Chains A and B, each alone.
Chain A
């Protein structure tokens, strides 16, 4: 583990980051390059974060020394691969404080996790006229799977409204709960705006009515400590690649009692105990939901990413990012004609904004020429864009390895854009 030992400061003391960011940055090879002749300022972490060397090494080492298929061979490599793969499951379990590894299903990512729950949990239970409750803040991945299952079953989708700050309207939530609500599917942190949803309050209300709750945690796990047992949610979904892990791997947490009752989602190898043409016996949890050879190297990389983030310290990561958010918000507010979209009281390190007279797409290109990588577009959250009556926004999203200098470069590049197109 080559994670950097944290600096002495344990909390927000006088606005100083608790991390030695220069040392942290040495862990990330990709950050040390020029883009279009300028030093790279990677501010697109909500789309995908970068990987530290230890994660890249964990994957390489696995392929160089230990690869074979898992849960199959009696030979040594298969045993090693299985141990590493299942070891990562143990790491994920500990990371989100699940009760058992039987509750951790490896999936391709958050999107697949939500689709699994929609098809395996929701679909068999839904009757015409039943309701699924989501919110206006959702990413398309937490909208479309529910629309599909509604079409399949005759259930209806209801939407919790949001406010002009990009927060969820709790009274609106209460009004939309009904005797027909069969599931609440909510984002933990909004990808488009950065809003941290006070999910506990929503979950408590749902639980008193025995409504199961799924949380989309794709944007939450990279930035804060998540404890599924403290949250008391029924399903929690997240991706590896937004938290320094590989692409193509993520995890679904599901309460064991619910997973037990759910039918398999996909059929194939590994998810069975025995197969004949007359009858197939399904494997036990979590393997029942992992048909086919899994993303072994991805799961191992995810485990390494979790180890890395825990070594840096999730609390310190949260504090460092909060300081970056404060600084960026203050610098951007000073730019005439710039409007921040999403001004929730409690936010992850995401600033979404528009600039008068300049389309976000043009901002993205001009910033790129200055080495500053941001996301522009609808962020797979078109209903959020519709709410604010903008076709798209520019979004800078920070990770704990970002610096104030990078935010200064963002601001300078925005000034340049205004000179060119303003």
Chain B
């Protein structure tokens, strides 16, 4: 296991300076996610224009992986359609859990930096929490999301 592979520069940067880290009082969609194992707590806000994610932001506390993952998520899905975000969720799921999955930088961009997480099974949930939370927000599941 190589720590450099987990804490890549992009991750460290997004942990120190998370992007879109704010509440959104006029959000159209909103969901909360919890990781009971480590106490991560995440709130995700989405503003829609038609089918497009016009704005997305998050708040909460968590480890470097979960904060960076959420920050990268907001950067990546802003301006994309709900369908595109949903497709991305599947790709991220594969990237984080499937050893065979190959990160295509052209497709995933900075999100590919999270591929090192799968070498650390106890940390996969940290990286995937925000994606599950986004999925819940977009599809309006009534209860808070948990990684358990």
Residues on A lying within 8 angstroms of B by beta carbon are 36, 357-362, 365-366, 369, 376-378, 382, 385, 391-392, 420-421
* Bound CA–CA A358/B15 (angstroms): 10
Q: Could you say which of A36, A361, A369, A378 contacts B63, with CB atoms under 8 Å apart?
A: A361
> What is the chain A residue whose CB lies nearest that of B35?
A361
Q: Could you say which of B3, B7, B15, B61 contacts A391, with CB atoms under 8 Å apart?
A: B61
B38:A420 contact, CB within 8 angstroms: no
A361:B126 contact, CB within 8 angstroms: yes
B3:A378 contact, CB within 8 angstroms: no
CB neighbors of A among B42-73 (8 A): 61-65, 67
> What is the chain A residue whose CB lies nearest that of B67?
A359
Q: Could you say which of A362, A377, A382, A385 contacts B64, with CB atoms under 8 Å apart?
A: A362
Given pairs A365-B122, A385-B39, A421-B12, 9 additional interface contacts (CB within 8 A): A36-B1, A359-B38, A359-B62, A359-B63, A360-B63, A361-B62, A361-B63, A361-B65, A362-B63
- Give the chain A neighbours of B1 by CB distance below 8 A: 36, 369
CB neighbors of A among B92-140 (8 A): 120, 122-123, 126
B39:A391 contact, CB within 8 angstroms: yes
- Give the chain B neighbours of A358 by CB distance below 8 A: 64
Q: Could you say which of B39, B61, B64, B122 contacts A421, with CB atoms under 8 Å apart?
A: B64
A366:B39 contact, CB within 8 angstroms: no
* A-B interface pairs (CB < 8 A), number: 52
Residues on B lying within 8 angstroms of A by beta carbon are 1, 3, 6-7, 12, 15-16, 37-41, 61-65, 67, 120, 122-123, 126
Q: Could you say which of B16, B38, B41, B67 contacts A360, with CB atoms under 8 Å apart?
A: B38
B38:A421 contact, CB within 8 angstroms: no
Report 20 cross-chain contacts, Cβ distance below 8 Å, ordered by A residue.
Answer: A357-B16, A359-B61, A359-B62, A360-B38, A360-B63, A361-B38, A361-B40, A361-B62, A361-B123, A362-B65, A365-B6, A369-B1, A377-B39, A391-B41, A392-B38, A392-B39, A420-B12, A421-B7, A421-B12, A421-B15
> What is the chain B residue whose CB lies nearest that of A385?
B39
A378:B39 contact, CB within 8 angstroms: yes
* Bound CA–CA A361/B122 (angstroms): 10
Least distance between B27 CB and chain A CB atoms (Å): 23
- Give the chain A neighbours of B61 by CB distance below 8 A: 359, 391
* Bound CA–CA A362/B1 (angstroms): 14
- Give the chain A neighbours of B122 by CB distance below 8 A: 365
* Bound CA–CA A376/B38 (angstroms): 7
- Give the chain A neighbours of B6 by CB distance below 8 A: 365
* Bound CA–CA A377/B39 (angstroms): 6
* Bound CA–CA A380/B65 (angstroms): 22
- Give the chain B neighbours of A369 by CB distance below 8 A: 1, 3
* Bound CA–CA A392/B40 (angstroms): 9
Listed from nearest, the 5 A-B pairs whose CB atoms lie closest are: A359-B63, A391-B39, A361-B63, A361-B38, A392-B39
Q: Could you say which of B3, B16, B38, B62 contacts A366, with CB atoms under 8 Å apart?
A: B3
- Give the chain B neighbours of A362 by CB distance below 8 A: 7, 63-65
Task: With A36-B1, A362-B65, A421-B15 as known contacts, state yes or no: A377 contacts B38, CB within 8 Å.
Answer: yes
A365:B38 contact, CB within 8 angstroms: no
Task: With A361-B126, A365-B122 as known contacts, state yes or no: A420 contacts B37, CB within 8 Å.
Answer: no
- Give the chain A neighbours of B15 by CB distance below 8 A: 421
- Give the chain A neighbours of B63 by CB distance below 8 A: 359-362
- Give the chain B neighbours of A421 by CB distance below 8 A: 7, 12, 15, 64
> What is the chain B residue whose CB lies nearest that of A358?
B64
* Bound CA–CA A204/B39 (angstroms): 37
- Give the chain B neighbours of A420 by CB distance below 8 A: 3, 7, 12
* Bound CA–CA A391/B40 (angstroms): 7
Least distance between A395 CB and chain B CB atoms (Å): 13
* Bound CA–CA A366/B15 (angstroms): 16
* Bound CA–CA A421/B6 (angstroms): 11
- Give the chain B neighbours of A365 by CB distance below 8 A: 3, 6, 120, 122-123
B37:A377 contact, CB within 8 angstroms: yes
- Give the chain A neighbours of B64 by CB distance below 8 A: 358-359, 362, 421
- Give the chain A neighbours of B40 by CB distance below 8 A: 361, 391
- Give the chain B neighbours of A391 by CB distance below 8 A: 38-41, 61-62
> What is the chain B residue whose CB lies nearest that of A36?
B1
* Bound CA–CA A420/B12 (angstroms): 8
Least distance between B80 CB and chain A CB atoms (Å): 29
Residue among A361, A366, A377 having the largest count of chain B Cβ atoms under 10 Å: A361
Least distance between A394 CB and chain B CB atoms (Å): 11
- Give the chain B neighbours of A366 by CB distance below 8 A: 3
* Bound CA–CA A392/B6 (angstroms): 21
- Give the chain A neighbours of B41 by CB distance below 8 A: 391
* Bound CA–CA A362/B122 (angstroms): 11
- Give the chain A neighbours of B126 by CB distance below 8 A: 361
* Bound CA–CA A369/B120 (angstroms): 10
> What is the chain A residue whose CB lies nearest that of B120?
A365
Least distance between A29 CB and chain B CB atoms (Å): 24
- Give the chain A neighbours of B120 by CB distance below 8 A: 365
